[in-house]
Amino acid sequence: MVDKGDILKNFPMKKSNRSKYFMLLCLYLTFVVAGCHTFRVAGDVLPGSFAELLDFRSIPNLKTWRTLQASGYDRGGGFYDSGNFLRIEGNRHYVLMEAEGPGCIDRMWFTYKSEVGKEPYELLIFLDDLDKPVIQVDFDALFSGKHFPFIAPLAGLCGNKKHPARYSYVPIGFQRSCKVILVPRAPEEQYQYRTNSYGRKIPHIYYQITYRKFQPDTQVKQFRWNLEKEESDALTKAQSIWKNAGLSPWAAFEDMKENEIQVDVEPNSNISLFEIAGSGVIYGLELLTEELEGLWLEIYWNGAANPDVNVPLGPFFACSSSERPEQDVRGLWAGFTKDLYYCYLPMPFHKAARIQISSHAKKEVSMAARLQYRTEIPCSTDGLFCAHRYDYLSPTAGKNYTVLDIKGGGHFAGLVMDRPGHMEGDDFFFVDGEKQPSIHGTGTEDFFNFAWGLGHTASLALHGITIQSGSPICYRFHLPAAVPFSDSLLVNWEHGHDTKSGANLHKGRYSGVVYYYRDCSQ
């Protein structure tokens, strides 16, 4: 494969060299397309199946499920987000989650402040039959990345190497009910405990289990250890795609269209990159540039006067807004490899699409761009892709800061924090005006599947933390388990939480980018 670093070694290029440069760019992108994977499984795709992980074209489809989360957040509103279970049964059987079906566990995350193997647990998951667990396995073995079908990178460890976080995106479907229990397998004195605000001794273990609840008549692919060939093939393909995050996951359609452009973006100007009339779906936006400072991406759908995407260029790609990353950011849907910024989230439009760069920079910036799209009629249930910027120089003391507050319908698809602020900050998702959030997190690094601080790094398909310009930049994609809303969605966050002083007192700048799809029929 052509090395992108070789292609860009003379960038920014003189105008006289651009033709030669762009031929090299096209050659490289031809190699990228040739390495694409098939993106969709033929026939019906059952929720809870590994095939669902490959059904990328359904990402913009408006959802009918509810997304919920069981976690160990402090029920008293305090700082102690460990050891809070639904209840404790029998001899230290910690009940973490209970749900009626049909449904699917899409994400599990755990951490505890002990080295791997020092605090042995057994994880029990009962599905549809409460008499016998379908999953009964050593806790650390399950998250080792080697326990089929909980294989890397769909499951594994990340974050602090001594006290790692354990994550899994292996779907666990259930038709009637689900119950998750954690059982210590050693004497009580071998485990770490802490005293919470009520003076109660609690296990020092953190957890989040994100799951979907479907309509009552939904048929779900129930989890089984022994996979059918179709499921095994889908798992193998998903594993390959996740391992190769950074390459386009879309197939090279015969009728895929490609537009390419090279421009000089003058200071304090707007310049159009691409304009498409008619209906279609954008499958790839790729940019090559040396400069990011002061550049914003704007995308207008269907002739609208205001952009649905209006974000600084770097954070849209899970990167810094000021400097090019020193390491790759290999998210499946957005990121940076060598010198190529990319976004592969599908973007349907019904009448027209316009993509432009708005410059607030102090100097001219040279840029090359490439767009992949198909002229197709979007599904009637497709939402419009949106990206929203939030930015607080210093959030209001004593109050959560708002990440997203939107009216109407749609679904939340992901989040980048280019200034995540304090690691101790719970997240809250209030769907359709609910009083108690559907999702209540346990800390900023926990949301991104890491543990014990924001200084530990890894870049994976659906989540990651990288250090850029001396600061952590975090990303996580909520796919396929997007968070749907019919009337409204409010996402807010704590900025710090101290055992003595309380919540929301940390000062400093907090900023990020939210990806979501909105219902354009409303």
- Assigned CATH for 65-214: 2.60.120.1390
In contact, 409 and 485? CB cutoff 8 Å: yes
The pLDDT score that the predictor gives to residue 2 is 35
| Lowest mean pLDDT segment, chosen from 29-38, 76-85, 398-407 | 29-38
Count CA atoms closer than 13 A to 463's CA, side-chain side: 27
Residue 34 has pLDDT above 60, yes or no: no
How far CA 397 is from CA of 424, 494, 495, 505, in Å, comes to 15, 10, 9, 5
**With bands split at pLDDT 50, 70 and 90, how would you rate the model's confidence at 39?**
very low
The pLDDT score that the predictor gives to residue 115 is 81
| Lowest mean pLDDT segment, chosen from 21-30, 55-64, 178-187, 481-490 | 21-30
d(CA 180, CA 177): 10
Question: Tokens 């006289």 belong to which residue?
Answer: 16
The pLDDT score that the predictor gives to residue 131 is 86
The pLDDT score that the predictor gives to residue 210 is 98
In contact, 355 and 272? CB cutoff 8 Å: yes
Terminal Cα distance for the chain, rounded = 46
In contact, 220 and 173? CB cutoff 8 Å: yes
**With bands split at pLDDT 50, 70 and 90, how would you rate the model's confidence at 252?**
low
- In sign, the C-alpha dihedral spanning 384, 387, 392, 398 is positive
Kindly report the three-state secondary structure assignment for every residue of 335-397.
Answer: EEECCEEEECCCEEECCEEEEEEEECCCCCEEEEEEEEEECCCCCCCECEEEEEEEEECCCCC
Token pair for 371: 């767009």
65-214 with 383-522: one CATH topology?
yes
Residue-wise pLDDT for 189-243, tens only, equals 999 898 877 788 888 899 999 999 999 999 999 999 999 999 999 999 999 999 9
Tell me how crowded residue 434 is: count the other CB atoms within 10 A of its CB: 12
Where are the domains positioned within the chain? 65-214, 383-522
Strand 463-468 relative to strand 384-392, pairing: unpaired
Does the pTM exceed 0.85?
Answer: yes
Residue 9 has pLDDT above 70, yes or no: no
- Assigned CATH for 383-522: 2.60.120.1390
